[in-house]
């Protein structure tokens, strides 16, 4: 996920850094605060979502998709591991295609979004479901929650929906180049991150997309996803209602947290209602501890079932 927080005062910024477990790089004055223990509270009992009351997305498949990505190791945009992953994701997505975008990796080759689609009953309505598949370019960083989790959920959702089953046509987009390079001169998220989503937002806004749903941090063990302040309130309320219907409402509490510049923002700017599922009280954000020990099959399933239910009502 991208790292810009909008509209925070100093106090809010410090709180965000503490919640996030550190800035990049943390300024020396903030290091102590960044390491302070922070309660990563979730309203769910013991922080764990209950087993969903719906089973339309195979939780074992979804978690295997997460694990397979982590086992590839670091997958920064333009790396060999990332390019191999993109090919694998293309084969997994229904009607999967690779789409080159107007940004290049370190080797000079274009970055690529991976796009799939499942046709709906409504001839006009189109909804985009997205996640980023690149990982932050930090040594040893495997992005179990930040990269693999959202990507796994998107692919598993795509494979759970049959053509004509839902009203909207659902386009599944796995974004390349979400993370700004580690180069400190290119930390500007608006400019150097969100590269895949800027390209996709242009395309799907032009096609009249009715909504965009972004899955970013959706797999951490202690799951709590309040509304991120950029996210379109009405669509967010539909998600909360969907989560409640499948029995995981506690993971989507009625609260709003500071705005985050993430892959939903280019869609919002293009006029498409959009929401970002991101549990930003995630202590392993952009740290090597964002590995398999930090995520859970239950959390990933709860997020996936909630989004399926939302899609079924759009």
Contact between 218 and 42 under an 8 Å Cβ cutoff? The reply is no
User: How does DSSP classify residue 157?
Assistant: H
CB of 223 to Zn ion, least distance (A): 17
**Is residue 279 close enough to count as binding Zn ion by CB under 5 A?**
no
Respond yes or no on whether the N-terminal peptide bond of residue 25 is cis (omega within 30° of 0): yes
Our CB check for Zn ion shows the closer of 40 and 146 to be 146
Compute the distance between CA of residue 273 and CA of residue 280 in angstroms, rounded to an integer. Answer: 21
CB of 308 to Zn ion, least distance (A): 25
The SS3 call for residue 4 is strand
Q: Which stretch binds Zn ion (CB under 5 A): 36-44, 120-128, 133-141, 226-234?
A: 133-141
Our CB check for Zn ion shows the closer of 145 and 169 to be 145
Compute the distance between CA of residue 126 and CA of residue 180 in angstroms, rounded to an integer. Answer: 29
Name residue 174's beta-bridge partners: 114, 131
CB of 277 to Zn ion, least distance (A): 14
Q: Which of 136, 221, 240, 287 binds Zn ion (CB under 5 A)?
A: 136
Q: With b meaning 16 or more CB within 10 Å and e meaning fewer, what string describes 202-224? A: ebbbeeebbbbbbbbbbbbbbbb
**Is residue 1 close enough to count as binding Zn ion by CB under 5 A?**
yes
In whole angstroms, how far apart are CA 173 and each of 94, 126, 301? 11, 13, 19
Q: Which stretch binds Zn ion (CB under 5 A): 139-147, 194-202, 205-213, 260-268?
A: 139-147
Angle at 132 between CA 274 and CA 280, to 5 degrees: 70
CB of 147 to Zn ion, least distance (A): 7
Our CB check for Zn ion shows the closer of 111 and 250 to be 111
**Is residue 57 close enough to count as binding Zn ion by CB under 5 A?**
no
Our CB check for Zn ion shows the closer of 204 and 217 to be 217
Which residues, 176 to 195, sit near Zn ion by CB under 5 A?
none
Our CB check for Zn ion shows the closer of 40 and 179 to be 179
Parallel, antiparallel, or unpaired for β 227-228 and 256-257? Answer: parallel
Backbone torsions φ then ψ of 278, nearest 5 degrees:
-145, 120
Site string for Zn ion, 140-179 (x = CB under 5 A): ------x---------------------------------
Our CB check for Zn ion shows the closer of 280 and 308 to be 280
Residues interacting with Zn ion, by CB under 5 A? 1, 136, 146
């Amino acid at each position: 996920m991208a790292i810009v927080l909008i509209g925070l005062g100093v106090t809010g910024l410090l709180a965000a850094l503490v919640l996030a477990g550190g800035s990049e790089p943390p300024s020396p004055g903030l290091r102590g605060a960044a390491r302070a223990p922070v309660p990563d509270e979730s309203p769910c009992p013991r922080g764990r979502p209950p087993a969903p009351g719906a089973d339309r997305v195979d939780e074992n498949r979804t978690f295997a998709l997460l694990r397979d990505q982590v086992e590839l190791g670091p997958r920064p945009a333009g790396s060999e591991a990332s390019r191999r992953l993109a090919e694998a994701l293309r084969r997994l997505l229904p009607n999967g295609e690779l789409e080159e975008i107007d940004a290049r990796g370190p080797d000079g080759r274009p970055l690529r979004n991976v796009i799939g689609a499942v046709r709906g009953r409504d001839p006009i309505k189109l909804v985009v479901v997205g996640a980023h598949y690149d990982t932050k370019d930090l040594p040893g960083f495997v992005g179990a929650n930040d990269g693999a989790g959202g990507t796994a959920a998107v692919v598993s959702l795509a494979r759970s929906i049959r053509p004509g089953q839902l009203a909207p046509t659902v386009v599944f987009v796995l974004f390349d180049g979400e993370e700004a390079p580690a180069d400190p001169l290119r930390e500007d998220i608006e400019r150097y991150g969100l590269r895949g989503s800027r390209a996709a937002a242009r395309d799907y806004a032009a096609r009249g997309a009715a909504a965009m749903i972004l899955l970013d941090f959706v797999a951490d063990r202690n799951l709590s996803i309040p509304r991120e302040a950029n996210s379109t309130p009405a669509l967010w309320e539909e998600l909360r209602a969907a989560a409640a219907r499948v029995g995981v409402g506690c993971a989507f509490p009625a609260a709003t947290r500071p705005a985050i510049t993430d892959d939903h923002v280019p869609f919002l700017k293009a006029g498409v209602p959009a929401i970002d599922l991101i549990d930003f009280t995630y202590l392993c954000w952009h740290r090597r501890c964002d590995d398999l020990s930090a995520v859970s099959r239950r959390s990933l399933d709860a997020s996936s079932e909630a989004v399926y239910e939302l899609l079924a009502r759009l």
